[in-house]
């Protein structure tokens, strides 16, 4: 057996460097940490060939005194901590004293620095960690480090490097995170002679986001700000409809340090539960400020992983801060319409066509005030009652008691537009079968813009969307999505509100063993949702009770889907099981697209949406899309 020998210092340095310096991005991160700790207000990063052949990081920080330049490249040499007690409350990005030694061990390094106390700067060159002669040099205050030929003396590591483009992208991400963590510092990133990023350093996080992540991302954000006794959370998160296909747009910072935290990711995504589109992930730039003693950053040499003294408090701080911002986002998304080139306001066409005619509005005739809140007469009373969407529907909410049908009749596919006299007429009056009514059309005044709570239901489109006129524009409501959200919220707030039916003949359902086992484990929760199941042996269940609206023939598929929801939720996040099951039940019970709704049903849905209580379905789809008057007039060429 070989004897145990102590490694020489050079081999030990190479091994240590492998933990700290994995790729060019690791070098840039360590040098940026040093620049920020030095109090720099402007930092420039330049790379060539993905950072493999050339890296330059320049800052205007405090610089290094000439007598300390050689010491700075020794292992475990640092100015940031002095004893064991300092490790319990680290307030700087760097503290290990390993970065410069590790970088110098696997590259050729050139240092140029000038401290604020000295008139002349200092230059020093190192190769494979061995310093050359220190020389005086003229340079501005701050430090410039040039790293050449990274891993030239470690071919085993060199062969595992990715393409230059991939390494450059990683370096760019490192610079982005540095800019987002310290918006008070101006960062410039140059790649192969081309400037790719510049942040202003004005101390505004949104400005840093704009410069680092781009205009499109910055415009899709909303602000988060929350302070508590133990933690402060601030930053920006994407609006629910601005989700992304990966988590690559999530940026978390703890005490000014970029971190990768599953805990903070889980808190963010839990806040977006039932608000983000299925399969999409929210983006964010979130800062968390804790007492230095409440977080341990001395977990990994890269310092991107941290441990929290109280994970529960951190989760709650992030979750409730984001949730508060999301609940404050009340507006409905606007419909994206194709811009019309050369559109302008006009009253008569230049080259023939139809002359400018009266404004035509779809809707019931208004009273003297020119407005009705719905399609019902003014004396219609509202009360709590069952919403008869289908026979046996088991979920209820407030609807009008009147039984009124919207005017509907079959029409010919080819309709000749009636001639109209100047003035405002309604489509109902123009198409009414009574000749006398056609001769005396009713006025239909626009809704007062100063009354945001008013609305007029114009009808139903494609048996899927409710068309509503509101002050200043139109609203298209997806009735299934809106109803689904209403039912979901009611189930969450009122457990056990599902009406159930006891089966005269209990049904025996055979399911895969995994599905039957998970249903039996959650019998208590299933009973809240109207199901009563017992073990029948061999993977089969005997079902004695089901929700009111489930057909006996659909019991096996309903139970199988519920089991799938529970299993999927447990794999991702055990705490989300109940929410996933409630979402599935609400989706099944909600009114379906393609079915005709009564005026009572439409009014009940619209009132919930207009009150701001319903914005997204449990799967994250919007329930309504807004179309402003300006958008309409632009499409028709009435305005530029």
> What are the tens digits of pLDDT across the range 304-338?
788 888 888 999 999 999 988 888 765 555 555 54
Q: What is the pLDDT of residue 192?
A: 94
Please name the residues in contact with 284: beta carbons below 8 A apart, sequence gap of 6 or more. 224, 235, 236, 237, 238, 249, 250, 251, 252, 268, 322
Q: If you average pLDDT over every residue of the chain, what do you get? A: 73
How far from each other are the two terminal CA atoms of the chain, in whole angstroms? 86
| Alpha helices, DSSP H, located in 422-512 | 427-431, 435-439, 479-493
User: What is the layout of strands, in order, in the sheet containing 231-238?
Assistant: 221-227, 231-238, 284-290, 250-254, 257-259
Burial 266-296 (b: 16+ CB within 10 A, else e): bbbbbbbbbbbbeebbbbbbbbbebeeebbe
Q: What is the pLDDT of residue 295?
A: 84
Q: Are 530 and 575 in contact, with CB atoms under 8 Å apart?
A: no
Q: Are 533 and 559 in contact, with CB atoms under 8 Å apart?
A: yes
> What are the tens digits of pLDDT across the range 109-143?
999 999 988 889 999 999 988 888 889 998 999 99
Q: Are 624 and 477 in contact, with CB atoms under 8 Å apart?
A: yes
d(CA 422, CA 441): 12
CA distance readout (Å), 48 to 104, 187, 271, 360: 18, 17, 41, 64
Q: What is the pLDDT of residue 199?
A: 96
d(CA 605, CA 480): 10
Question: Of the candidates 581, 615, 582, which has an alpha carbon nearest to the alpha carbon of residue 492?
Answer: 582
Q: What is the average pLDDT across 212-232?
A: 89
Question: Of the candidates 60, 635, 6, which has an alpha carbon nearest to the alpha carbon of residue 345?
Answer: 635
Q: Are 54 and 28 in contact, with CB atoms under 8 Å apart?
A: no
- Here the tokens at position 608 are 């919930």
d(CA 583, CA 565): 9
- Here the tokens at position 252 are 């978390």
- Here the tokens at position 410 are 């079959």
Judge residue 478's burial from the number of C-beta atoms within 10 Å of its C-beta, 0-12 exposed, 13-18 middle, 19 or more buried.
Answer: buried
pLDDT surpasses 70 at 359? no
**Residue keyed to tokens 């009122």:** 494
Strand partners, 290: 231
- Banded pLDDT at 412 (limits 50, 70, 90): very low
Highest mean pLDDT, choosing among 2-6, 55-59, 68-72: 55-59
Domains of the chain with CATH codes: 9-198 (3.30.565.10), 220-327 (3.30.230.10), 332-357+371-403+451-640 (3.30.1370.100)
| Stretch (H or E) spanning 626 | strand 624-628
Q: Are 476 and 622 in contact, with CB atoms under 8 Å apart?
A: no
Highest mean pLDDT, choosing among 393-397, 530-534, 557-561, 568-572: 530-534
Please name the residues in contact with 69: beta carbons below 8 A apart, sequence gap of 6 or more. 111, 113, 122, 124, 134
| Stretch (H or E) spanning 477 | strand 473-478
> What are the tens digits of pLDDT across the range 440-465?
433 444 544 444 457 778 777 787 78
What is the DSSP code string of 29-53? Answer: HHHHHHHHHTT-SEEEEEEEGGGTS
Question: What torsion do the CA atoms of 390, 460, 585, 324 make, to the nearest 10 degrees?
Answer: -150
Question: Of the candidates 377, 378, 231, which has an alpha carbon nearest to the alpha carbon of residue 309?
Answer: 231
Name the pTM for this structure.
0.57
d(CA 156, CA 11): 14
CA 426 to chain centre: 43
């Amino acid at each position: 057996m070989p004897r145990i020998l102590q490694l020489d210092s050079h081999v030990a340095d190479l091994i240590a460097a492998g933990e700290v310096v994995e790729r060019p991005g690791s070098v840039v991160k360590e040098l940026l940490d040093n620049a920020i700790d030095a109090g720099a207000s402007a930092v420039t990063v330049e790379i060539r060939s993905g950072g493999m052949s050339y890296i330059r990081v320049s800052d205007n920080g405090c610089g290094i005194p000439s007598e300390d330049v050689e010491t700075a490249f020794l292992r475990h040499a640092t100015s940031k901590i002095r004893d064991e007690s300092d490790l319990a409350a680290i307030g700087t990005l760097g503290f290990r004293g390993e970065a410069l030694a590790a970088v110098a061990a696997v590259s050729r390094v050139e240092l140029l620095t000038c401290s604020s106390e000295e008139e002349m700067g200092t230059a020093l060159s190192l190769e494979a960690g061995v310093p050359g002669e220190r020389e005086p040099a003229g340079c501005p205050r701050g430090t410039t480090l040039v790293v050449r030929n990274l891993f030239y003396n470690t071919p085993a590591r060199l062969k595992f490097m990715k393409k230059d483009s991939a390494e450059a992208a990683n370096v760019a991400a490192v610079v982005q995170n540095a800019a987002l963590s310290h918006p008070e510092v101006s960062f410039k990133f140059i790649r192969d002679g081309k400037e790719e990023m510049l942040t202003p350093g004005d101390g505004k996080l949104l400005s840093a986001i704009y410069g680092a992540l781009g205009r499109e991302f910055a415009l899709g954000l909303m602000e988060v700000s929350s302070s508590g006794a133990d933690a402060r959370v601030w930053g920006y998160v994407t609006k629910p409809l601005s989700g992304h296909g990966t988590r690559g747009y999530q940026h978390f910072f703890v005490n000014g340090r970029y971190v990768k935290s599953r805990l903070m990711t889980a808190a963010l995504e839990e806040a977006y539960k039932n608000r983000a589109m299925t399969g999409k992930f929210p983006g964010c730039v979130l800062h968390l400020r804790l007492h230095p003693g409440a977080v341990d950053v001395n977990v990994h040499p890269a310092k991107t992983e941290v441990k929290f003294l109280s994970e529960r408090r951190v989760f709650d701080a992030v979750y409730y801060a984001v949730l508060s911002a999301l609940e404050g986002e009340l507006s409905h998304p606007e419909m994206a319409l194709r811009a019309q080139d050369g559109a302008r306001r006009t009253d008569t066409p230049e080259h023939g066509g139809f002359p400018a005619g009266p404004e035509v509005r779809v809707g019931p005739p208004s009273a003297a005030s020119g407005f009705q809140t719905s399609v019902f007469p003014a004396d219609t009373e509202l009360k709590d009652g069952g919403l008869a969407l289908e026979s046996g529907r088991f979920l209820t909410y407030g609807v009008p008691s009147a039984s009124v049908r919207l005017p509907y009749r079959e029409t010919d596919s080819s309709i000749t537009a009636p001639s109209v006299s100047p003035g405002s007429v309604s489509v109902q009056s123009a198409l009414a079968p009574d000749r006398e009514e056609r001769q005396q059309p009713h006025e239909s005044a626009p809704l007062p813009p100063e009354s945001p709570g008013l609305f007029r239901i114009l009808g139903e489109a494609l048996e899927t969307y409710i068309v509503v006129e509101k002050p200043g524009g139109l609203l298209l409501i997806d009735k299934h999505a809106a109803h689904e959200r209403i039912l979901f919220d009611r189930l969450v707030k009122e457990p056990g509100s599902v009406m159930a039916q006891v089966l005269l003949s209990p049904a025996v359902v055979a399911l895969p063993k995994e599905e039957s086992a998970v249903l039996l484990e959650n019998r208590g929760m299933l009973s809240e949702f109207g199901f009563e199941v017992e073990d029948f042996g061999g993977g089969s269940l005997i079902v004695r009770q089901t929700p009111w609206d489930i057909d006996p023939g659909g019991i096996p598929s309903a139970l199988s889907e519920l089991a799938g929801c529970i299993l999927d939720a447990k794999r991702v996040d055990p705490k989300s099981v109940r929410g996933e099951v409630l979402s599935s039940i609400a989706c099944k019970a909600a009114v379906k697209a393609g079915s005709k709704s009564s005026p009572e049903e439409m009014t009940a849905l619209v009132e919930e949406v207009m009150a701001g209580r319903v914005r997204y379905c449990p799967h994250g789809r919007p329930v309504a899309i807004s179309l402003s008057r300006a958008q309409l007039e632009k499409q028709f060429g009435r305005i530029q």
